[in-house]
Chain A
Amino acid sequence: MQNSPLPFRGGVGGGDSQPLCNAAMPHPNPSPEGEGLLKHLFLFLLALLGLVALAPVAAAQDAAPAADDEPELVEFDTAKVRRIAVPALVAPSPADTPAGNSATLGRQIAEVISANLRNSGLFEPQGPAGIRPITIEEVTAPQYDYWKGRNVEQLVEGFVRVGGDGNLTVGCYLYDVNFGQELTRLGFVVPPREWRRAAHKCADAIYSKLTGELPFFDSRIAYIAETGPKGKRVKRLAIMDSDGANHRFITNGQSTALTPRFSPNYKSILYLSYQDGNPRIYVYDIDSGRQRLITASKNPTFAPRWSPDGQTILYSMAVAGNTDVYKVSVNGGSPVKLTSAPGIDVGGSFSPDGRQIVFESDRGGSQQVYVMNADGSNQRRISHGGGRYATPEWSPRGDLIAYTRIAGDFRVGVMRPDGSGERLLTDSWQDEAPTWAPNGRVIQFFRTERNSGKTSVWQVDLTGRNERKLPTPVDGSDPAWGPVLP
């Protein structure tokens, strides 16, 4: 990456083009400059505007990995664990904000970056605890020799400034210690209460740059929070950041809530509620707190999914005991029935291009995974490994389908869309209902304990080696991962 000098200094940012409202807002780093930075900013903004779909922010000008049609799973290089130092971000002139002092925020941002990288399983971060603080000068002139002595390969440095309008400017730099070279840099302006988003964006840039994968930390999860005895669980709709922070309950538990899905723009959530006594799918609007049924039908509806463009809702409906898959416009109108086999056709998940749907059916005698065109044509079975296959979920990257395999125990696995390359990722009594990280390289699911019925949300990467439980205030099930935040 070149970092050629610019014809002007400090021309962008510096508080003169602050966002006009208090929404999260990426922004150029005010202190350092360089063509590389502006180029990154430019690409980043294009990505935000949807002009560069899912381009890795920082790696865009380097060879970002293109999504192959049939990539080998080994391309996800997880054998290498990268040693990376993450000292606290510097606050050159510490100031109080509603979210705390900026010096404290600098440390907390580093903590979130470090935790994100560690939890991905692909990094062995040092710091911010236990490593020395850095100076503001070091942010742009790292002491490579010192960090070599710490036996790290990469170094993350940055700063936090409080602007005149009270917003934070967060600068984030990634260096290769051995080559003495800057790898990427990013700047963000955020309201103090959204400081975690700056940390996630920074961690995403580091993750993307060093693994070649698309980002995923700056995203949110909808799930079902569970309490109470097994025979009478209280199930509430809840949302949280991808790392479990900023947790919020949406429903109060008076009616059982199940199987939520964030809309692609995070404005609403599809979920099942027994609110009127029967299982029905509602669209819950996050801003207004209002919700509505997706169909006027009195029949039970369940297993809701969004199309990738957020314009179509896929769902299952039972009529006189026979369940089929339907789709309906998000604006209402007549539902289209996509399956008609006798028996249970249920669930379903769109391919990222919206042209195909993977679903499950017991038309052949037991639950198996089928693929069809989005208009219902060309239905064909793709699972052939023995046992039952359920809850298929198409990766946002398109290359894989995740599922629950039932052979006594429930395990989460992945296969290619043609059914080949089947691989189980987890091994427990009941692991159910995978949902993909926005980069298609990490999966969340929920695990149920035998006898007690206690549930928890877990995460695993495609190697199956990096598995961990997500922190939730109470038990959790039915996780649904949303896209990377705009």
Chain B
Amino acid sequence: MENLTTQMAGVPLNHYIYLCAIIFTIGVIGVLTRRNAIVIFMSVELMLNAVNLLLTAFSVHSNDPSGQVFVFFIMALAAAEVAVGLAIIVMVYRNTKSIDINILNRLKW
């Protein structure tokens, strides 16, 4: 474990920031361009995981455990969100037989 931390700290912090910004952007683009509710949902998870990775990197670099504790908060609440979100998607599927968000235009945007 010690070894892992030193190795992680060996990579410059900037690289983590760039990597996470790229992953986060991919998630944002996914949410904005995809039409399938499940894929949008996966893109959101990608955004959250970019955040988790960056928090861990910051936490290791500044020798402060609170960042890693925050990661647990994010994971727990993301799981709660998944449970509710998938239930909502299933409910929509039962009524419309589709999870394409283009059919969700009966109320106009």
Question: Bound pair: A and B?
Answer: no
